[in-house]
Chains A and B, each alone.
Chain A
Amino acid sequence: MSVVVDSLAFRYPAAGAGLDGVSLDVVPGEFCAVIGPSGCGKSTLLKLIAGFLSPAAGQIRIAGTDMTGVPTRLRNLGIVFQNYALFPHMTALENVAYPLKLRGVGRAERLRRAGQALERTRLSGLADRHPRQLSGGQQQRVALARALVFAPGALLLDEPLSALDAAHRAAMRDEIRAVQREHGIATLHVTHDQEEALSIADKVAVMRDGALLQLASPQELYDRPADRFVAGFVGHANLFDGTVRGPDLVETAIGPLACATGGQPAGTSVTLLARPEAVRTDPPDDAVNRFAGTLVRDRFLGSLRRYDLAVPGGTILGETLSRADIRSVQIPPECLRILPA
């Protein structure tokens, strides 16, 4: 079953912030992450799809049915909340069995199915524990089991990993993805963590100020960001503002950069994007786009080394495996991408 959001608009009466004509679709089995800075409208989008808020305009279709205006409880959505929202007076098993009880499933059958759901999230040994007796990760798994046990039309995840520590977050991320694949369910995951979004999702929606800036696969988002904001928000980036000077030349603050300008007329203001891993260290003296400078920051991150090289007019961010001293770098022309300024 799919989730389709069509030209969804919403305004918070007091703040004025909200959502401006957002459209996206998540097909069955697909995992869509929504990212953006706080206040970008990603949580509002989730609340609108869940039915906690009513849109001013637009349509929400779940499994092909128009659900705009339908109460939350009738939308048949599995939702995992940021703080898990497990019922404190029920055991893990009872929590998972609760949605089945609401659907009139008999006691024996619902306990059997809840037990199976807990087994799938590797929690069968903890079925009789109350939420307060479970760790954050375990509570998370109970919440996930509870959201999936009644075979909902879609799964909504509202920053479900933000309360976990870094070590558990990565493991839980893989687990959520595995369970989601197993169920083949359309999933919308709201998060502020872009690394989480890139690593888990089939496609990522980047939002800002209530608008959807780009909806694409993680690879496309990283390699071909729609604009300067997306480029800077997703992963690390060198962004150079400049003016097109010739067919393959852009004048920037750090000097002229040779790159394919894609036929942009001379005088056009553009932004050039170069990902740090594309920056080469210690190139030959006659290399194009070669810059000499001094190392101002050098961060050893284990598998790689991230550095800032101060050059006249700016700084170049680079990543390398080399541990040698860095005095000059090259930004290969084919690794430079033109974005609208």
Chain B
Amino acid sequence: MPIVTALYLLYLAAPIALLAIGSVGQSWTNSLLPSGLTAGWYGQLWADASFRRAFTVSLTVCAATCAVTALIGVPLAYAIYGASRRGVRAAARVLFLLPVAAPPLVLGFGFILVFSSDSLPFLGSGWLLVAGHVVSTLPYLMQTLVSDMRHLDLVTLETAAESLGAGFRQRLVGIVIPSLRQSLSSGLIMVAALSIGEFQMSNLIAGFLSRPYPVVLLQAFYGATGFACAGTMLLLLLAVLSALASASAGRGLPSSKGTPS
């Protein structure tokens, strides 16, 4: 068992290690490892305006996606959790399955069809990109939230709070949201990682000036290997950073406890 685990981890880490090595290697052609050491590729990346812009776009889209999914996801998950009607539950199941049933490519084509018309000419705008990311990541956040609500038995917690004298707003701020901090932050990590790495749909619906990082990165692979490696390493960094940021944002929610005055 330990051998299998070790092999698996090696398999997982090897490409990342090779990318890291490649990103600081001077030249890498037809050899197992690159030769020479340089930070030049990162310098070139930084100097490239389209990469810099894409970096900012990705972070902005990711932050906006996290904010919108949290704002929509919490009340929606709460409604689904509290719903006793069979129709609502069935709709929720469909929603949860949406990313599996409708791949980003399908969603992307749909967006092109709808938003390239004269009446809805929004294709290529940054907000449409955010909307696309929200559609494809929301189910993941919802699933995490709803299962946590079930696990916590939120209804009983709310009933208890109500019996102690809490009104709806007091329950929402003092009990519901603080109880969901853990699942909200872990759900947002997933949303952030998915948004940062999203390529298929973004490639279809992003405008020239609103291209996120993965879309621009593709072009790097037509150039020098070192440049492509440095670009990919940056994407990895971007994913880790946004995951950390969204996690801390989730934890930073009001922790309204019994003590603060």
Which A positions have Cβ atoms within 8 angstroms of B?
A: 50, 52, 71-79, 81, 83, 85-91, 93-103, 106-107, 110-111, 114, 146-147, 150
B165 at the interface (CB under 8 A from A): yes
Contact check, B258 vs A85: say whether CB atoms are below 8 A apart: no
User: In the complex, what distance in Å separates the CA atom of A75 from the CA atom of B164?
Assistant: 9
Contact check, A107 vs B261: say whether CB atoms are below 8 A apart: yes
Contact check, B156 vs A83: say whether CB atoms are below 8 A apart: yes
- Nearest to A47 among chain B residues (CB) is B159
User: In the complex, what distance in Å separates the CA atom of A106 from the CA atom of B160?
Assistant: 22
Contact check, B257 vs A94: say whether CB atoms are below 8 A apart: yes
Against A, the Cβ 8 Å flags (1 = close, 0 = not) of B147-177 are: 0000011001101111111110010001100
**A87 CB contact (under 8 Å) in B159, B162, B175:** B175
B73 at the interface (CB under 8 A from A): no
Contact check, B156 vs A87: say whether CB atoms are below 8 A apart: no
- Nearest to B260 among chain A residues (CB) is A107
Once A and B bind, how many residue pairs between them come within 8 Å at the CB atom? 83
B255 at the interface (CB under 8 A from A): yes
- Nearest to A96 among chain B residues (CB) is B258
Residues of A within 8 A of B179 (CB): 87-89
B181 at the interface (CB under 8 A from A): yes
Residues of B within 8 A of A71 (CB): 162
Q: Contacts A90-B258, A94-B257, A97-B258 given: A85-B159 contact, CB under 8 Å?
A: yes
Which B positions have Cβ atoms within 8 angstroms of A?
A: 152-153, 156-157, 159-167, 170, 174-175, 178-179, 181, 255, 257-261
Shortest beta-carbon contacts, A-B, top 10: A94-B258, A85-B160, A107-B261, A97-B258, A99-B164, A98-B258, A102-B165, A79-B163, A89-B178, A94-B257
Contact check, A150 vs B156: say whether CB atoms are below 8 A apart: no
* A10 → B minimal CB distance (Å): 18
User: In the complex, what distance in Å separates the CA atom of A221 from the CA atom of B187?
Assistant: 56
Residues of B within 8 A of A86 (CB): 160
- Nearest to A99 among chain B residues (CB) is B164
* A137 → B minimal CB distance (Å): 18
User: In the complex, what distance in Å separates the CA atom of A77 from the CA atom of B165?
Assistant: 9
Q: Contacts A102-B166, A107-B261 given: A89-B160 contact, CB under 8 Å?
A: no
Residues of B within 8 A of A94 (CB): 257-259
Residues of A within 8 A of B157 (CB): 85, 87-88
User: In the complex, what distance in Å separates the CA atom of A71 from the CA atom of B164?
Assistant: 12
- Nearest to A82 among chain B residues (CB) is B156
Contact check, A89 vs B255: say whether CB atoms are below 8 A apart: yes
Contact check, B152 vs A88: say whether CB atoms are below 8 A apart: yes
Contact check, A150 vs B164: say whether CB atoms are below 8 A apart: yes
Residues of A within 8 A of B161 (CB): 87, 98
* A173 → B minimal CB distance (Å): 22
Residues of B within 8 A of A74 (CB): 165
User: In the complex, what distance in Å separates the CA atom of A50 from the CA atom of B178?
Assistant: 25
* B214 → A minimal CB distance (Å): 37
Contact check, B259 vs A85: say whether CB atoms are below 8 A apart: no
Contact check, B159 vs A114: say whether CB atoms are below 8 A apart: no
Contact check, A73 vs B257: say whether CB atoms are below 8 A apart: no
Contact check, B261 vs A106: say whether CB atoms are below 8 A apart: yes
* A197 → B minimal CB distance (Å): 22
Residues of A within 8 A of B156 (CB): 81, 83, 85
Contact check, A79 vs B160: say whether CB atoms are below 8 A apart: yes
Contact check, B259 vs A97: say whether CB atoms are below 8 A apart: yes
Centre residue among A96, A99, A111, A147 by max chain B CB count within 10 A: A99
**B165 CB contact (under 8 Å) in A52, A73, A90:** A73
Residues of A within 8 A of B178 (CB): 87, 89
Residues of B within 8 A of A106 (CB): 261
Residues of B within 8 A of A89 (CB): 178-179, 181, 255, 257
* A216 → B minimal CB distance (Å): 29
Given contacts A73-B163, A90-B258, A107-B260, 6 further A-B contacts (CB under 8 A): A72-B163, A81-B156, A98-B161, A99-B164, A102-B170, A107-B261
* A177 → B minimal CB distance (Å): 21
Centre residue among A50, A73, A86, A91 by max chain B CB count within 10 A: A73
